[in-house]
Homo-oligomer: A and B are copies of this chain.
Amino acid sequence: MPDDCPFIVVGKPQILFSGKWLYVKETKFKKPGSDHLQTKPDGVDVIATLKKNGKKYFVLIKQYRFPLEGFCIEFPAGLIDPGEEALQAGLRELKEETGYTATKVVSVSPGIQSLDPGITDDSVVFVTVEIDGDAPENLSPKQSLDEGESLEVLLVECDKILDYINSIAGTVNIETMVYTFAVGFAMGRTF
């Protein structure tokens, strides 16, 4: 444990289950402190804005997820391959999952973002890009999916994203990061 951990660990943490992708570790602790930070993210998520025929869209995907036994609305995303940089992985995954080639990289998030910090250390970096949908390479986008992937690309008009998400939320799962993005965007517009 790091020095600034506000809890005292009791005994030795135990690995309860160890698989190919996941392990489960039990740490017993009690209340009574330097921050530990992961330096390598597991994956990358892409926040992409597409301009086409004078309109602006956010690029989302709808993917079947076994843990949910159903479909989920997410950003294009994927694991970072060994030796790959986050930005490179983001542009690759965007192209593979949606067929679109990013025209401009707006930002790569600093540090690492945690998906579900209460129960896992699963983490991503965010790559934010713009796509020129009128560019020749983006006129007929074609996915190239891995064997285990089945996903649909959704183009959602930017100014309607929260209404859209709220309208489908009863019929499909929404990833938390997509929901809060939509809420933040709507709040920002009227701030």
Contacts and interface: CB of A to CB of B under 8 A. Distances in A.
Interface of A: 1-2, 5-7, 16-17, 19, 21-22, 24, 26-27, 29, 31, 35-38, 45, 47, 49, 56, 63-72, 74-75, 109-124, 126, 128, 147-148, 150, 158-159, 166, 169-191
Query: Chain copies in the assembly?
Result: 2
Given A2-B70, A38-B173, A111-B174, 16 more contacts: A2-B69, A5-B69, A7-B150, A17-B17, A22-B24, A27-B66, A35-B171, A37-B70, A56-B191, A68-B114, A69-B121, A110-B166, A120-B120, A126-B180, A178-B180, A188-B189
Nearest to A79: B118
Given A64-B5, A111-B173, A112-B173, A74 B117 contact: yes
* Most B Cβ at <10 Å: residue of A6, A67, A186: A67
* Most B Cβ at <10 Å: residue of A31, A64, A123, A166: A64
